[in-house]
Structure 1
Amino acid sequence: MSMVIKERIKGFICVTAHPGGCHKNVLSQIETIERSAKVPTQFKKAVIIGGTTGYGLSSRIAATFGAGCGTLNISLERPPRTGRTASAGWYNTVAFEQIARNKGYFARTLNADAFSQATKERACEIVRSEFGDIDLLIYSVAAPKRVDETTGISYQSVLKPIGEQLTSKTVNVATRAISDVTIAAASEAEITATVKVMGGEDWAAWVETFLAAGLLNKNFKTLAYSYIGSPITAAIYRKGTIGRAKDDLEQTAMQLNEKLAASKITGAASISVNKALVTQASSAIPILPLYVSILYKVMKEHNLHEDTTAQIKRLFSQISRLEQEKTTHSKSHSQWPPLFRLDDFELNPSVQAEVSRRWNAVNEANLSDMADLTGYWNDFLGLFGFGRKDIDYDLEVEENLPLDLF
């Protein structure tokens, strides 16, 4: 069955997705990577946890079309049904896997709850059968909740400050109205829940499960993604509940390095600290849309703006240089830093000074001069396959696209 698909916005999310637009978005990212110089790395067999949107999808694309990896993706996306679209992540995955397989790459998905131990065990079976072992695991999960299988307790993450309530500016991206928003301080239970959902516990569980199963290559590497950000966003982000979770994530990297070393695996666990961008996850964070809109304008004026593809391409280039240093200096293994700082352009002092000036001066009358709200809105719609000039959104399209799932 075919249908006309238009964007339908509810709150900070779009509840529809356009398969044709998602396909073109993925193809555009792939072409960007293919136009770039190849990034030779040791990676040939990768598991991506959350490889359907945002940084996770860009990581899968860069790993495959930049470094030549076969990839297994683990994610939980909404499939289509008659008269209802799938999630954008589903359509992104359909597009990616179709293109990747046509070019000879292994590309499959396990559509299941990443927090579940049963999912981890099933992934081990697939890796054992298809890869033998893995040399890269990227963890890019942005789920709002999880259930602890041991206790049965459900944990819901919250985006709140810690210690005291926060009042700050925000913008309604659709109406361009600027207003103050007050966010209550998180309770201890909310802080604990957010760390449980967004911290490093599940990342560690994935690595430990593969390690116990003997499925990690001796030079295995693993990455997770984090954000530090500006003083403007600190109260709601780095000093808030999500920041507490990111602290836990970074602590987990150190613990994983100790476990890998004890297992005689000359591998590494690192965090990539990325820049602020429009993603499905970031659009839910109060204050961030206005900050990101101003940041976009300033970084574009400084010719420093990067999207997720450019960020991950730069990350893989840094990794490739580390691998080349290993070969050049005859090291037994490459020395990965605890943090890959891809937020350096965002935190450039001149960029942050101008962002701060505009943040203090912005109002509805000068919003277009101070911020790139149009760019933000276009990127937001683009997450779901909308807003493209090369798609006629009045035409019917087939919404029921299947995935070849495990």
Structure 2
Amino acid sequence: MASRAASSRPSPAAPTPSACRSSASRRKKKSASAGWYNNRAFEIEAEKIGRSPLTLEGDAFSDEMKKNFIERVREKFGQLDLLVYSMAAPVRTDPDTGKTYRSVIKPLGAPVEIKTLDTETGEVFQTTLEPASEEQTAATVAVMGGDDWKRWIDQLADAGVLAPGFRTLNYTYIGSELTWPIYWNGTLGRAKVDLDSKAEAIRGRLGADAARVVALKAVVTQASSAIPVVPLYGTVLFKVMKQLGLHEGCIEQIDRLFRTKLGKGVALDDAQRVRVDDWELSPEVQTEVSRRWPLLTTETLGELADLGEYKSQFLRLFGFGIDGVDYTQDVDPRIVPG
């Protein structure tokens, strides 16, 4: 349960700061985010099998949250043997300077024209994205790079709550060349490179195997759905990987990571990353995705891609589209079913 305890973060998995500050009367009238209920449901299921989870909700970028977390870890676990850092947040305030940074999803150098998808209507269309400024690029690295990850590890190490042989993982995405104009070759890519440098710095302090960036396959998340081209790429990828018997969801790929990719002797790439995107980027998958890509139009989407699967996974993030749930019934948002 140590890794779960380490997953406090400002994202869809926690109420927003504004919700946390709202008055008592307002809280009675307003439900929390879907992620808040996911956390409560996780705690119920964990307790059913004799586990004792620790969930903290707040601004994971703040030193206050880190201090609170360290105190709770001492009380509940003593030390941590694993911390998984998985952050999806558009804004970060630097605890040292008080400056607030906002990330942007833009290309670098020149405008990029790229094919994308309106997931609501199923329309495939071209869009032009303007390049980021140097200031926007730096801000994106400040929010989505590795600085806060390293800050977490340094403070945990200084507090003496890391067990011998401690390891930390940071999940990332690299993707295929089809998404690179907006992803790897853009502001997001700069932030991802920063993760690699911070992983090296953590290894320099804690040991050769202490920190790894883990490259995962494309999945449906609230964060990824906001990136131009990625939803369209995902709908094609899912269909191809299903047809080849290689499709994995979030749970399946993380299960494969822990079962097969974290032992001694596992191959790393040139940047010392663990690769769980190997099935997505295999030649048989990418050759077929690349063949379909120029053929994609609004009219051919149903034949070449799987928009239905994408929509289903997105709805399920927020508790919708679940078999056996009667969505016409009134519910009390203050009650989490046991």
> Above 0.5 in TM-score?
yes
- Aligned equivalents of 2:84, 2:309: Cα separation in 1: 28
Q: Match for 1:340 among 251, 254, 274?
A: 274
Alpha carbons 1:155, 1:197 under 8 Å: kept = yes
> Does 1:318 pair with 2:227?
no
- Aligned equivalents of 1:151, 1:53: Cα separation in 2: 22
**Any residues of structure 2 matched to 1:255-294 within 5 Å, and which?**
255-261=201-207, 268-294=210-236
Q: Match for 1:223 among 146, 151, 169?
A: 169
TM-score normalised to the size of structure 1? 0.76
> Does 1:370 pair with 2:304?
yes
- Aligned equivalents of 1:147, 1:164: Cα separation in 2: 29
How much has 1:132 moved relative to structure 2? 1.1
- 1:119 aligns to what? 65
Alpha carbons 2:9, 2:58 under 8 Å: kept = no
CA deviations 1:256-276 (Å, max 9, x no partner) are 000113xxxx75100110001
> What one-letter code is carried by the residue in structure 1 that aligns with 2:154?
E
- Aligned equivalents of 1:336, 1:51: Cα separation in 2: 28
- 2:7 aligns to what? 49
- 2:324 aligns to what? 390
Change (3 A) 1:94 1:156: same
- Aligned equivalents of 1:341, 1:319: Cα separation in 2: 8
- Aligned equivalents of 1:52, 1:308: Cα separation in 2: 19
What SS class does the counterpart of residue 346 from structure 1 fall into?
coil
How much has 1:51 moved relative to structure 2? 7.0
- 2:23 aligns to what? none
Q: Match for 1:298 among 240, 263, 271?
A: 240
Superposed CA RMSD in Å reads: 2.3
How much has 1:82 moved relative to structure 2? 3.0
Alpha carbons 1:52, 1:92 under 8 Å: kept = no
CA deviations 1:314-357 (Å, max 9, x no partner) are 011025643xx7xxxxxxxx998832110011101111111111
> Does 1:354 pair with 2:288?
yes
What SS class does the counterpart of residue 136 from structure 1 fall into?
strand
Change (3 A) 1:276 1:335: closer
Alpha carbons 2:6, 2:83 under 8 Å: kept = yes
- Aligned equivalents of 1:360, 1:319: Cα separation in 2: 34
List structure 1 runs of 4+ shifted beyond 6 angstroms. 51-54, 334-337
Alpha carbons 1:224, 1:270 under 8 Å: kept = yes
TM-score normalised to the size of structure 2? 0.91
Alpha carbons 1:169, 1:181 under 8 Å: kept = yes
Tell me, which stretches of 5 or more residues in structure 2 are unaligned?
21-25
- 2:156 aligns to what? 210
**Any residues of structure 2 matched to 1:2-401 within 5 Å, and which?**
45-46=2-3, 47-50=5-8, 81-261=27-207, 268-319=210-261, 321-322=263-264, 338-401=272-335
Change (3 A) 1:114 1:203: same
Alpha carbons 1:48, 1:138 under 8 Å: kept = yes
- Aligned equivalents of 1:176, 1:159: Cα separation in 2: 22
Alpha carbons 1:299, 1:351 under 8 Å: kept = yes
How much has 1:48 moved relative to structure 2? 2.6
- Aligned equivalents of 2:113, 2:88: Cα separation in 1: 25
Give the % identical residues. 43
Change (3 A) 1:286 1:257: same
> What one-letter code is carried by the residue in structure 1 that aligns with 2:306?
D
Number of equivalences = 327
What SS class does the counterpart of residue 107 from structure 1 fall into?
coil
What SS class does the counterpart of residue 163 from structure 2 fall into?
strand
- Aligned equivalents of 2:329, 2:45: Cα separation in 1: 24
What SS class does the counterpart of residue 85 from structure 1 fall into?
coil
